[in-house]
Structure formats: structure tokens, C-alpha cells
Amino acid sequence: MNKTKNRSIKGIVFSVVFTMTALSAAPVMAGTPSAPARTVAASTMVWESATGKCYHSKNNCGKMNPKKAKQITLEQAKAKGLKKCSKCW
């Protein structure tokens, strides 16, 4: 067998072994628990308008002035009693 064919076969064998290893690990990784929802909510940033009663996913929603909007966490917005904007969410 020449060296080129030998390298090609080694590459194919490596690919097959690598794929089988990755596929066999997939169910284990799929079963791992995800982060608690509280952590996600605390790290999600939203936009609070200067005068509105809603929180927004973008700082230029509707007639909102992006220069006066400030970014806060989702948890802070809910604590202030702000509701989710129906236009941008």
C-alpha cells in the first residue's frame, strides 16, 4: 500500500472513531441539568424607558427615546412592576 492511501485510511478511521465517541457522549450531555431560571432572569438585560410602564428588548422600541432609555436587569424591571412590551418581545 502506498503512503497516500495509508494516510487517507488513517484519516477515515480517525473520523469514524471521533464521530462514534461524540455520538456516544451526546445522551450524557443532554441529560445534564441546565442553570436555574433565576440565574438566567438575573443576567438578562432589558431596557427601561424614561416614562413608560414596560420593559423592552431593544432601546428604540416604538416612540421610546433611546438616549433616555437605561439598561437594567430583568429582575429589577419586574421588581419595579414593569410589564413586558408586547411590541418588541
Report the first-to-last Cα separation within the chain, whole angstroms. 62
Which of residues 40 and 78 earns the better pLDDT score?
Answer: 78
Provide the grid cell at 42. 438575573
Which of residues 51 and 74 earns the better pLDDT score?
Answer: 74
pLDDT over threshold 80, residue 29: no
52: three-class secondary structure by DSSP? coil
pLDDT for res 40:
54
